[in-house]
Amino acid sequence: MKRIVCMMVVFFVFISLPLFSEQDDSWKKDRPVLKEGGGFWYAYMDFKGPYSLIREKARIFTQEFRNQGIKAEGDILVAYYNSPRENKPEDLEWGVALPMDKDADVKPPLKKTEFKKAQSVVIMHRGPIEKIQESNDKVKKYIDDNGYKMVWPAYEIFHHKPESVEIIHPVVKK
């Protein structure tokens, strides 16, 4: 009898795993979702100007990161401090960053801070970077439809395996 009950429990857990993983991973399926908590430390450099400079400035940042001997603990990310919908390209403020250990010794021109927000709307963008605005529009719609307000900075983490961009918009309730 115990064996049958044990097998039934194992069977139920095995069958229900996809249901739970589907809920937890829904943000990875091109749908925005609200995520609670989370955080990480990162080293960064700030820049100002059009987003077309990001690739060039990322090379400068990563070279300095390597020169300081800091160990990256994740993929490169861009922090956006203001919106292209409300600012001219030359007035856009953003930073290039890499996650790292909170105890890493970071020296100028790099800076160090912690991403720590209570709630964020997150979506995984797959496909050409030229179409990333479609994913950002989905996030904006989710935020508006659910009574939230964006809090800057917003983040994009550029994953290489698989190639995708994780878009993170911290939010607060209106």
pTM over 0.85: no
Query: Does 77 have pLDDT greater than 90?
Result: yes
Handedness of CA 64, 91, 169, 52 (dihedral sign): negative
According to the model, what pLDDT value does residue 23 have?
43
Encode pLDDT of 7-43 as tens digits. 333 333 333 333 333 344 555 567 999 998 878 899 9
Q: Where are the domains of the chain?
A: 29-173
Q: Which residue has the tokens 């993170």?
A: 168
In this prediction, residues 155-167 reach a mean pLDDT of 87
CATH 3.40.50.410 fits 29-173, yes or no: no
151 φ, ψ (degrees, to nearest 5): -120, 130
Encode pLDDT of 106-156 as tens digits. 999 999 999 887 899 999 999 888 888 999 999 999 999 999 999 999 999
